[in-house]
Structure 1
Amino acid sequence: MNSPVLSRRELNRALLQRQQLLRRETGSVAELVERLVGLQAQAPLAAYVALWSRLEDFEPAELSELMTERRAVRASLMRATIHLVTADDCLLLWRLVHPVADRGLRGAFGKRLAGADLDAVVAYGTDLLSREPYSRSRLRDVLGERWPDWDATAMAYAVSYLIGTVQVTPRGVWGETGPAALQTIESWLGRSPVADPSIDALVLRYLAAFGPASVADVQQWSGLTKLREVVDRLRPGLRVYADEDGRELFDVPEGPLPDGETPAPVRFLPEYDNVLLSHADRRRVNPAGRPVPLPPGNGAAMGTVLIDGDYAADWRHHRGADPSLKVITHGPITADVRDAVEAEATELLTLIGSKDTPVVVTDR
């Protein structure tokens, strides 16, 4: 069967529109976070920059309030990485993506946990984290004291991977600091994860937020495997395309497909933004295959820049005696593009609370 072919640029514009990066739109933080099936949030403040780039008149206090009121949380979910999600989505997603954490634990710590009574460790850890938050280092110390013959670090990871936890506030709250302390989902939210969530519904939500996409893309985003049968089950209700390499792409019927020549404004993204990591084929926003900057910071101090829809620069906010916001482009840019980069950087500095800091744009 011959399916319509979508160019890389068309896929780029489709992704940007669905991620609200072609135009900032109005709406609530909670609505957008749910529509995007969460925001990548390993760095504690990353979601604030991500939302600022997507929402008109975004105020950090709105997200901070959601977190302190436990209506939004940072939890280990897709790909066993930290995502900011609404409380409802945390409860909905955890059982679906839990196999990813289980597989990751056994791959990383299986040998170190050989001989340990994992059921006993997890039961004890669940009891501890149901009562109060624990950092992983504190959890390691307590578990190591109880079972000195077993690997304490591996036990701490086993508990944090297998029982379903959130990183509690004040970590992740704008203007505050706090340790990466964990508590069980049930104890923090006062509800248990959904018992039988729909994987079909999750795949459809992914396509709406990130499509058109291949089966490999869905698996990369979620960390799950064997999703071909899910997509095949959904196929009768999906639009089917191909990319320029002939890969089959799937989409929800109502998914927008803007013209590939639609203008794309400069956008500053945080570390590990959704658009950079949610496809197996990342060329739709990263045609040169550049690695995302490491190591992570706090999410509001460094990140990447989209120019004409592509990852084309990095940014870092330097504080101290000689403060600046430095933008390093991956190649020469025109004077008009430089002006747009500087203007957007100035707005970012206002969000960060450093509006008088100079912006410095250089080529790599």
Structure 2
Amino acid sequence: MTTTPVLSRRALNRALLDRQLLLARAPWDAARAVEHLVGLQTQIPGNHYTALFSRLEDFRAEEFSRSFEARAFVRISLHRSTIHTVTARDCLALRPLFAAPAERVLRSNYAARLAGVDLDRLAERARELAAREPCTFHAFGQALQSEWPHHEAQALGMAVRLLLPMVQVPPRGLWRRGGAARHTTAQLWLGEELAPPTPGALDELVLRYVGAFGPASVKDAQTWSGLTRLREVFDRVGHRLRRFRDEGGTELFDLPDAPRPDADTPAPVRFLPDYDNVLIGHADRTRVMADEARRRVWLANRALPTFLVDGFVAGTWRLETDRRGTEATLVLAPLRRPGRSERAALEEEGARLLGFHAPGASATVRWEEESQEPRESQET
């Protein structure tokens, strides 16, 4: 009788850090990293810079920004109907897999506010508007009111967001630049049609997820993707996976040859942006974040930037700069008092982060007192 191996929380932590390129920075280019990670969540436009800085050996923000501007990468609503940075190739391949869930969100959350609107006609009109110029969703909604004058612009704009594969266009998302969140369709922006869905596309997505986040459960994959009924997908690809269990008995799946480092493998200090993949890629997030830390990190629909110590969330951080960019302060708010060596490691890596975000500025690392009481939180 074969016994299913049990993986401890620390073993799962080290496996996750390794897959997420956080156990050691990878000597990869940005495109390889972003595709390996199946996208980076970037509700905040500049998040991909910090995420890649912490994962790649020689990440150059200006080079990535130029590639983004040249349309090698895009920001588009995918997993869980949230904005992700993906390569152009993945945009065309992945967006069809998330079309049906996005439409379900639209019909369940906006049915009353869109009563009487022909959604197929609305999508057609939105494509025509996008072909003229990229617009904010509010501008799309206002323009669509010429045909549906008794409906709110906000609801009409949200219909555009959820019905069509809308990408946010630069300068939003560029290095040290910004702008209004203007959108056009992926087809118009990339000059190609979306890949037609194939029977094996969802199977491949699950295998890619396991490769970047495993060992993981079916529920983990569903939480990460926002898709349902993935048990049948795991059943189809089960012959290509190895099975484990966590300490609570939950069945986990992984690629047979994927790295699973020893639980005692040293884990370096790392700084993560808001909503980083590693924090939201599982239903059970205790492999990287204790429940107490989770309550202090997720505040009023916002996941704060965090830092990891020994592989686990140990505090939050923020960057303060003056208007001229001549002074920069990294403020560290630990969830517990760090030891001397931990403090030194955080200050060393923090100085590196400051050098990345504010080169040439007078840089300071400042500590705040560790939080004593958890604050009310609500996750998205």
Secondary structure class of the residue paired with 2:291: coil
Secondary structure class of the residue paired with 1:146: coil
Counterpart of 1:306 in structure 2 is: 308
Q: Aligned partners of 1:76, 1:99: CA distance in 2, in Å?
A: 13
Give the conservation status (yes or no) of the 8 Å contact 1:271–1:293. Answer: no
Q: Aligned partners of 1:222, 1:341: CA distance in 2, in Å?
A: 32
Q: Aligned partners of 2:256, 2:63: CA distance in 1, in Å?
A: 32
Letter in 2 for 1:45: G
Secondary structure class of the residue paired with 1:99: helix
Letter in 1 for 2:339: T
Is 1:239 aligned with 2:242?
A: yes
- Asked which structure has the greater RCO (Cα within 8 Å, sep 6+), the reply is 1
Counterpart of 2:215 in structure 1 is: 212
Counterpart of 1:281 in structure 2 is: 284
Counterpart of 2:19 in structure 1 is: 18
Letter in 2 for 1:166: V
Q: Aligned partners of 1:130, 1:97: CA distance in 2, in Å?
A: 23
Give the conservation status (yes or no) of the 8 Å contact 2:137–2:160. Answer: no
Secondary structure class of the residue paired with 1:359: strand
Secondary structure class of the residue paired with 2:115: coil
Letter in 2 for 1:266: V
Counterpart of 1:333 in structure 2 is: 338
Q: Which 5+ residue runs of structure 1 have no aligned equivalent?
A: none
Counterpart of 2:151 in structure 1 is: 150
Q: Aligned partners of 1:285, 1:293: CA distance in 2, in Å?
A: 14
Q: Aligned partners of 1:33, 1:153: CA distance in 2, in Å?
A: 32
Q: Aligned partners of 1:130, 1:163: CA distance in 2, in Å?
A: 13
Q: How much has 1:237 moved relative to structure 2?
A: 1.6
Aligned length: 361
Matching residue within 290, 311, 319 for 2:321 = 319
Q: How much has 1:100 moved relative to structure 2?
A: 2.0
Counterpart of 1:48 in structure 2 is: 49
Greater than 6 Å deviation, 4+ residue runs: none
Counterpart of 2:351 in structure 1 is: 346
* TM alignment of 1:1-364, pairs within 5 A: 2-197=3-198, 198-288=201-291, 290-291=294-295, 292-294=297-299, 303-320=305-322, 323-353=328-358, 355-362=361-368, 363-364=370-371
Q: Aligned partners of 2:32, 2:179: CA distance in 1, in Å?
A: 26
1:239-272 residue CA offsets vs partner (Å, 9 max, x unmatched): 0000111000000112110001111111000000
Give the conservation status (yes or no) of the 8 Å contact 1:132–1:183. Answer: yes
Secondary structure class of the residue paired with 2:167: strand
Q: Aligned partners of 1:145, 1:283: CA distance in 2, in Å?
A: 50
Q: Aligned partners of 1:358, 1:201: CA distance in 2, in Å?
A: 45
Secondary structure class of the residue paired with 1:358: strand
Q: How much has 1:62 moved relative to structure 2?
A: 2.2
Q: How much has 1:323 moved relative to structure 2?
A: 5.0
1:201-241 residue CA offsets vs partner (Å, 9 max, x unmatched): 11000000000000001111110000000001111121000
- TM-score, structure 1 normalization: 0.95
Q: How much has 1:107 moved relative to structure 2?
A: 2.5
Give the conservation status (yes or no) of the 8 Å contact 1:269–1:305. Answer: yes
